[in-house]
Each structure stands twice: as C-alpha cells, then as structure tokens.
A and B are shown apart, each in its own frame.
Chain A
Amino acid sequence: MKLLYYPGCTLHTVAVQFDQSTKEICKQLDIELIEISDFTCCGGLYPQTTENLMQLQAPARILVQAQRTDPNLELMTLCTFCYNTLKRTHYTLKKDEQKRNILNDYLEEPYNAKVKIVHLIEVFRDDIGYDTIRKKSKRSLLKGFRVAPYYGCLLLRPMNEIELDDQEQPSILEDLLYAIGCDVIEFPYRFDCCGSFHVVNKPEIAEQCSKELLRYTEQFHANCLVTCCPLCYYNISRFGGTDFNFQIFYITQLVGLALGIEPIKLGLDPEIINKFISDSYLV
C-alpha cells in the first residue's frame, strides 16, 4: 500500500530515530511512503478560538500540498502535534464552508476537504491488522519489556474531531503492544501531561510533570514507557535522567524490534536492548 507522509518539523531533526524506525518497519510491511514535497510547519498547537483563520493557513497549506501530490492517498503523520493540528484543521474546514471559502483565497489551490489524515498506529489497526503484525513478529523477543503505554494529551482529544479511539478508555496502543508480545501495564496515568511547551520558558513545570509521571511508572513496575510524541519523549528523557531506572521508546521502535530489525537501524543502543532481553529470563 501507498501512503503520503508528512514528517513535520521534528522528524528529520530532533526525533530522527522515530523517522528512521518508521521507514524500516514500513519497508518490512510493504508500505510505500511518499514524502510530500515543500512542506512547512503545521503551527504546533491548534488555534482554539473562533477567529483563528490566520493560524489555520499553515496546516491548510499542508493539506493542499497533500491533495496536490495525490488526492487518492491517505496522509500519514507520526508526530501527535501534527496529527492533532492537521486533523482538527481538516474538521473545521470541512464543517465550516464560510471559513473554507475565505481561506481558499489565500491558498495556491482550493482545498476540497477530502484528504484523510491517519496516524501510523491507525494504519496498523485498520489496514494491516493486529493479526498480521502478530504473525510477523518474534513475540518472545519482547518478553522483558514491561511497557507503560503513554498517550499524552494530543493523540486522542477532542474525540469528536479526532475519532481515533475513546478519549478516556482507549486501547489502540495497548492492543498493538499486546500484538507484538510486550508485557503491557494497565497504566492509569497514560493521559497525564508531560509539561508540554512549558519546557521553553518554565522548565520547572515540565520537570515536575515528567518526574511525577515516572514515579507512577515505577509504582506500576513498568521498566519502559512508550509514546508517539517527540515532545513527550524529549521532556521525559530530559527530566527523568538518572533518577529513574527506565527507558522511553517510540512505538515504532518496539514494533521494529518485534519485526526482527536490528536495534541500530531503529536508532536504539544495542546494549540497552540486550539488557532488556536478558532481564526477560529473570521474569
């Protein structure tokens, strides 16, 4: 299958391992990724006020770019910020014709509001299927990974616009982790904020939020955390530091390991992975 791919601003710079691991697993699962050309930043967080036309321009431009590249393909993103912003922008422009008409005057090509935005985990669930993933993965490999799935704030909310999964009782990450053979922890703090963009001007807030989250992770006897968000990854790995005995992974890195891809190709340190795997014999 073919997918359009929008990496956003971080995937080629700060979160290279996320991009790398995605490309590796897509190669294994016969998914062809076509990166849209000439893309810009999506604008970070979705502008929530009613007078938000100006800030909708950047995400709308990306949607038009996708529509121009191939109108029949789905647009896949990985970063939860991009996913949330693009999906909400699409929703607004689809519902509000007046806004769409005004915005179209400023775009290179009118947006027809037909692009479908998907997240990779959505592709796993709906197009590839957990059964296929289960058959293809070496499940015994991930036995020592007691994983706490961490959704963060933007992946599922608001539910009526994102429509990925239930916003308070989701199972999409858990199901995928079960399929690849991890030991999944039922983690009640999976939506707790990591401190988000406050890390820029008030790092102490992000520090407190991230540390609290890791304390809970420890209490639930998880030894690693799985996320889809480059900012959560950054905050937690920055403030978790040496205080906690844990590892944070992008979801694609674990799927890649299960599919038998070498850790180094997924941007992982082979030594850490070996430690996890040898731990599994103690469990």
Chain B
Amino acid sequence: MSMFKKTNEEFVHEVELLSGQNLFSCYQCGKCSAGCAFANFMDMLPHQVIRFLQLKKVEPVIDANTYWYCAACLTCTTRCPKSVDLASIMEALRNIMIRENRPYIQVFSLPVEIIEGFPQQAAVSALRKLSG
C-alpha cells in the first residue's frame, strides 16, 4: 500500500484499537449484511469487510465505499450474535481515512442552498462522519 506509511498489520491493529473490537470474534454469519439498510449500495458487504481485515487484506477494504455508506444506525451492532460492534469498526475506518486526509466529501464542495433546507443535524452528522 503505497499511499499509507502504515503496513497492513499496523492498519488492522489501528482499526482494532480505535473500534475497541476484536476482529476475530466475527464468525461470518452475515447477519449484519442481511439487515443493513444500505447493503445494496455498497461495493463490499459489511461482513466481508471484517473478513478482509481478518486476512490483513487492507487495500480492497479502503477502496470500497462500504464504510462511507454506513449511517451508524446500529442495526448490525444490535443483531450481532457475537456482540461485535460493527458500526464502531466502520467508524474506525472512516477516522483513519480522515486522519490520512482522504475524506469522502469536502465541506466546501456542498452548495450552501442545499444545506440550508436540511434539519441541521443532517448536515452536522454528515460533515462529522464524512469529512472529519
């Protein structure tokens, strides 16, 4: 991975550290993907993200849009039989990308007139989750 200074092992370790989750708790039942409201928009299903991270294959994960499409609705976290907080793992991935200065949206790219009509919490949450 050329763009990061981190090795794959360091990246996965950071995900575990930030999310506070043990990735190997997951036994790939796929319940998270089955219940995900946004699964049909994602390049990679949520349980596959964990599988790739378990195998220390980082590149396909960061190239996928899965973690940016997670809306932190906690459906997966609620239903996980192994109590893996997948939403936190997605948040950890977002945080790492934002810290590497690779946010999903730029604040200034959003037209002002679009933001004005929204309930404020939509704009605040979107900017917090997607641009840091």
Q: Looking across the interface, which residue of chain B has its beta carbon closest to that of A167?
A: B78
* Secondary structure call for the A interface: loop
* B2-17 near A? 1/0 per residue, CB < 8 Å: 0000000000000001
Bound Cα distance A55, B92 (Å) = 14
* Secondary structure call for the B interface: helix
Contact assessment for A50 and B19 in the assembled complex, using a CB-CB cutoff below 8 Å = yes
Q: Looking across the interface, which residue of chain A has its beta carbon closest to that of B124?
A: A44
Nearest Cβ on chain B to A63's Cβ, whole angstroms: 18
Contact assessment for B73 and A196 in the assembled complex, using a CB-CB cutoff below 8 Å = yes
Bound Cα distance A13, B121 (Å) = 11
Contact assessment for A201 and B110 in the assembled complex, using a CB-CB cutoff below 8 Å = yes
Nearest Cβ on chain B to A234's Cβ, whole angstroms: 5
Q: Which of the 9-residue segments A67-75, A151-159, A271-279 touches chain B?
A: A151-159
Count residues of chain A with CB under 8 A from any CB of chain B. Answer: 42
* B: contact size bracket: 35 or more
CB within 8 Å for A197 and B129 given contacts A48-B72, A48-B85, A167-B78: yes
- Which residues of A sit under 8 angstroms from B19, Cβ to Cβ? 48-50
Nearest Cβ on chain B to A80's Cβ, whole angstroms: 9
- Which residues of B sit under 8 angstroms from A193, Cβ to Cβ? 37-38, 71, 73, 75
Contact assessment for B88 and A48 in the assembled complex, using a CB-CB cutoff below 8 Å = yes
Q: Looking across the interface, which residue of chain A has its beta carbon closest to that of B87?
A: A48
Nearest Cβ on chain B to A19's Cβ, whole angstroms: 13
- Which residues of A sit under 8 angstroms from B128, Cβ to Cβ? 43-45, 47, 55
Contact assessment for B115 and A200 in the assembled complex, using a CB-CB cutoff below 8 Å = yes
* B43-75 near A? 1/0 per residue, CB < 8 Å: 000000000000000000000000001011111
Offer 8 A-B interface pairs, CB within 8 angstroms, sorted by A. A14-B120, A43-B124, A157-B73, A157-B78, A159-B78, A196-B122, A200-B126, A209-B38
Interface residues of B (CB under 8 A from A): 17-20, 37-38, 41, 69, 71-75, 77-79, 85, 87-88, 91-92, 95, 104-105, 110, 114-115, 118-130
